[in-house]
Amino acid sequence: MSDFTSPWQGYDFSGLSAALSRIQEITRPALEALQNIQSTLQPIVEALEQYKPKVEEIGQVLLHVSRRFSAIEKMGDAQFVFWDYMTEEFVDEIVDSENISKTLREQMLRDRFSKVNRTIDKTLSSPAMQKHKRLYSQSAEAFRDGNSDLAVTGFTSVFDGLLTDISGNPTSRLGPRIDVIKKKLDNDEFLDNDEYAMLTLALTLEKTLDSFSVPSDFKGKEPTGLNRHWIAHGRSTRKKSKIDCVKMINLIYGLLLIVDLESTVSPNFSCINGV
């Protein structure tokens, strides 16, 4: 036989057993209630799991739309008219940029200004540009030769002439089409690429026109952005850059796009962007 003796040998556990039994009796209703709650919640949990991917998808769409509009706003504030569909990569680059002009300039350098040159060619081929073609061509040559001050002055004169030809508020001509797009947004409907492009054109053009054409006091400091009054009246002394030229190139082409849209039932925005 073993010499081992349990330290609990001879101890009476009957009182402890009775206490445990009472605790079980007391907690049984609570445990049953928890089980009932779990059974009740299970279908809800399963339903939530079923719709979780859809909820996440909607969240991603809302984030996507929010960032897209943020990019559009920043482009307009920078006086950069844009009419193409913005890719996710482009949106991220614009939204995360601390210096839009610098970011856009880097994009143009990577592209070797090929998109800008194609926009110039498209502008020159527009019927609405024929009587302004000579000055526009000379301004484009000045831009390519690095004479940005001369180019911006020439482009501003072309803009004034073109605006006179168009007459009225150019962005108001997109009113009916934009109203349809806004209605879709109000109804939480998705926009296709062309609708996004049209909305981008309208919003960036409107913001650019507002800042470019705002009256300015010549006794004060010259605006940091392009201002037609300072340029046209020979008051501007700020050195112009290539990006300033591209802003004017895009502004003029944006006006031409609106003229073209008036005579187009189903506008095609698969045009080549100017940046």
Q: Say if 32 falls within a structural domain.
A: no
**Within a domain: residue 53?**
yes
Domain count along the chain: 1
Within-domain flag for 196: yes
The pLDDT tens digits for 28-45 are 666 666 566 556 655 655
Question: Does residue 20 sit within a domain?
Answer: no
pLDDT higher at 87 or 5: 87
What's the half-sphere exposure (Cβ side, CA atoms, 13 Å) at 247?
Answer: 31
CA-CA-CA-CA torsion sign (174, 176, 182, 184): negative
Averaged pLDDT, 43-55: 51
Residue 33 lies in a domain: no
pLDDT reported for residue 8 = 46
With a pLDDT cut of 70, the percent of the chain lying above it is 62
In a domain, 140, yes or no: yes
Which pLDDT does position 58 carry in this prediction?
41
Are 204 and 196 within 8 A, CB to CB? no
**Highest-pLDDT range among 83-92, 165-174, 238-247:** 238-247
Q: For 95-143, write each residue's pLDDT tens digit.
A: 999 999 999 999 999 999 999 999 999 999 999 999 999 999 999 999 9
- Which tokens hold the place of 139? 């301004």
193 assigned to some structural domain:
yes
Mean of pLDDT over the chain: 78
Domain containing 51: what range? 47-262
Q: Is residue 274 part of a domain?
A: no
